[in-house]
Every structure is written in structure tokens, then in C-alpha cells.
Amino acid sequence: MKFSSASPLRGRLNVPGDKSISHRSIMFGALARGTTEISNFLKGADCLSTISCFRAMGVDIEENQETILVHGKGLRGLKRPDQVLDCGNSGTTTRLISGILAAQDFDVTLTGDESIQKRPMKRIIDPLSLMGADIKSVRENGCAPLHITGAPLHGISYSTPVASAQVKSAILLAGLYADGETRVTEPARSRNHTELMLSSFGADVKTEGTTAVIRPARELYGQSIQVPGDISSAAFFLAAALLVPGSEILLKNVGINPTRDGVIRVFRQMGGQIEIVNRTTRAGEPAADLLVKSSRLHGTEVGGEIIPTLIDEIPVIAAAACFADGETVIRDAAELKVKESNRIQAMTENLQAMGADVRETEDGMIIRGGRPLHGADIQSRNDHRIAMTFAVAALASGQDVSIPQWDCVNISYPTFLEDMNSLINR
């Protein structure tokens, strides 16, 4: 894919449904009694991996034009799949499903693509094993493929070394099946969709500061879920509209859960004009329209507790920082090294290829903005968020940028190009 235009972004856009909430709506719907009806479901490859895993375990999932219907099997209704479960590129599928599989009365092997087979799974194997789970990394390297033999589980009180909603959620899902209370304490608060959604499905979950507490469930109940727009997808348009002069756009129905909204806070801190209007609630989550106008940005510091609330948006924040006046320091973000790719390296190398002044640090990046960028061939490392970030960098710089392996955007945003074009060509 080749990008170069720098025409302003104008108009309004409904960004696709939230990826994290879409995954969870399938999983919790499958474990519930009754039917769960999901609208604005994200039909990206990651969420389709979750659908295919649950279909392989006997769950009837109907895909219609506007909605997805999950005919739940109840907490004990999954069946042993005939084949290895393929989680594709999806860390959320792999980690959350492991918490569920740990408690079933069958054994199963799960794996995924080349990237998934390199991502750390010890972070879920350790706590789930403490609960009594039998999980083995088949190659004994702490990564997928994982072989999981269902076992009786007991509640634990666990402190996670990193703030990770995937780890927290795996433990909470196992906690649904445990024989007592399960508590997970994090160093900083990660996204809380699992807690909010499980509670509306009828589970007994509560939050005490950075601790989530769950009690075993007898039953979950099917729900109707209107998935809010994904703020992680909206972030690319936020950045593009802020950076390309003369832009003004309205992003409709974006989820602004405070455990996810760090990107808005940071762009505002950098001088970005983002207005939050028409606040509503969707699926128990705060949502709103975001009115964005092109702005002159200045550098900032991003670190500490805000990091988990914008972890997936750091690549596009780093790109935006190249166009800001002064220095931006991103720290406490070592988790970026174990995402779909090493995103600290991927960002540093690709921004440097465009001529930016960027330095990689132990746990982040230091970016000196203001140098004019030039065109480059980008190595996306097959990472969807890196590919889309450089589409934004291309638009903002007005330079020719080519992004091979562009198809990886299908992981989280299959209609990205159409949506970007609808804002540019007006």
C-alpha cells in the first residue's frame, strides 16, 4: 500500500466496534444460558478467531448483516474440540480462553500464528497453575502451543507483576469456576471490560482499587450488547485530524471508558483540540462523539499509571510526537516489546527511516519533534497498529510512504482505508 496525500480530513465517521468488548461478548455469550445478541460487533480477524474457537467447542454462533447471535451453552456446556484451537494473531483470544479451558472437563491444545507463538504465556500459566490448572507450553518455552487439561480450580489472591487486562481476565474467568473467591491485584489499573461485562451477565464481581474480586458463578445470562466504537481505532483518525492542517472531524459513538481514554488525555495535554460531546452509555460503558480539529501540538511526558489506558495507542502517539514542537518522553511502556511485534523497535526504526529524531530507551522512546519527515518503505512487521500508524505518518508528512504487508490491518480494522478515504475525499 502506498500513501502520500495530505488533504484535510473532514466529515463524520462511525469507527468499528471495540475489539476487546467484541471478543468478550462472544466468550461470555457462549458461557451464558440463553441468547446473546451483539450489534456493532467488530468483524476483524482477531474476533473471528474467537468465534471459530467457540464454534469448534459446539457453540452455535449466527453471523447476520447487522448482528451476531450467540446461543449460549451455559458454564458447563462446551464440548471438546476435534482439532487444535487456532487463535490466529490474537493475544486476547489465547489468554482469555485459557482461563476458561483450565476449568473444563476435557483437554485441548491451542495455538496461533508465528507472532502468537512468540508471545509470553507464562504470565497466565503461573497464576492459573496456582489455581490448580494443568497447562503446559508444548515446546516448554513459555509460549503457545499450550496444552490445557481441565481440572478443578480453587480461588487465589494474586498480584500480577504487570498491568494486563488479558492476564487479569484469564484469572477472573477461571475464578468463575473456582471453589472460592479469586482476587487479582495489578500494579496499575488495566481495562475493566471483563469486570463490567461479567457483572451484567450476572456474575458476582467487584473492584476494590486496583484489585478485582470474583466469586464462583452458578449461571451467566445472555445479554443484548451494543458494542461502542473502538477508541484504539479512533486514535488513528484523532491523530490524523490533529496533524493535517485544516481538518475537522466528528468521530461518532466512541467508547471512552476511563481505563481506555488515555490517548484523549495525552493528545489534549499536547495541545490537541478534542471535544467530547453527546455522552451516552453503550453496553454499560461510557461512549461519546469526539469533535477533533487540527492543532499545533507540543511535546509531553507519558508514563506511570496512564500507560495501561493507552497501551495500544502508543505507536500513533509516538508518530504524532514527531510533528509536535519539543521533546516527548514515553516511559514505563516495556510491555510494548511483547505485543504483536516489538513496538518500541518497530516504531523507532520506521520513524528513523522517515528521518525523525527518535531514540529507543529501555521502556519507551524519546522523540524530538519538528524535523521534516521524508518518504520511506515501512516494515510493519505484520503488526496492524504499526501499519495504520504509518498511514497516519504519511498523511501528516505529505510524503510517499509504502507499507508492504498492509493486509495485517484486517486484524482490527478491515475497513480502515475506506473510512480514511471517506474523510479525505470530501
Asked if residue 312 binds ligand S3P (CB under 6 A), the reply is: yes
Which parts of 174-203 interact with ligand S3P (CB under 6 A)? 190-191
Segment interacting with ligand S3P, rule: CB under 6 A, options 164-172, 180-188, 318-326, 396-404: 164-172
Q: Which of 96, 31, 30 is nearest to 69 (CA)?
A: 30
Residue placing its CB nearer to ligand S3P in the complex, 86 or 335? 335
**Can you tell me which residue has the cell 509470553?**
120
**Can you tell me which residue has the cell 492459573?**
128
Binding residues for ligand S3P, rule CB under 6 A, total 12
**Shortest separation between residue 340's beta carbon and ligand S3P, angstroms:** 8
Residue placing its CB nearer to ligand S3P in the complex, 247 or 412? 412
**Shortest separation between residue 248's beta carbon and ligand S3P, angstroms:** 29
Q: What are phi and psi of 27, to 5 degrees?
A: -60, -50
Segment interacting with ligand S3P, rule: CB under 6 A, options 47-55, 107-115, 162-170, 293-301: 162-170
**Shortest separation between residue 231's beta carbon and ligand S3P, angstroms:** 12
What is the SS3 assignment for 277?
strand
Which residues are the active-site residues?
312
Element (H, E) at 25: helix 19-31
Which residues make beta-bridge pairs with 289? Answer: 277
**Shortest separation between residue 12's beta carbon and ligand S3P, angstroms:** 26
Please give the full DSSP string across 367-422, using - where no structure is assigned. EE--PPP--EE---TT-HHHHHHHHHHHHHHT--EE-SSGGGGGGT-TTHHHHHHH
**Shortest separation between residue 30's beta carbon and ligand S3P, angstroms:** 16
Among 38, 85, 103, 165, binds ligand S3P (CB under 6 A): 165
**H helix count then E strand count, the chain:** 12, 23
What is the SS3 assignment for 233?
helix
**Can you tell me which residue has the cell 498492509?**
406
Which parts of 18-77 interact with ligand S3P (CB under 6 A)? 20
312 is in an annotated binding site: yes
User: Distance between terminal CA atoms of the chain?
Assistant: 21
- C-alpha–C-alpha distance, residues 229 and 159, integer Å: 31
Stretch 86-125: interaction string toward ligand S3P, x if CB under 6 A:
-----xx---------------------------------
Binding-site sequence positions: 19-20, 24, 91, 119, 164, 166, 312, 339, 343, 385
What residues make contact with ligand S3P under the rule CB under 6 A?
20, 91-92, 164-166, 169, 190-191, 311-312, 335
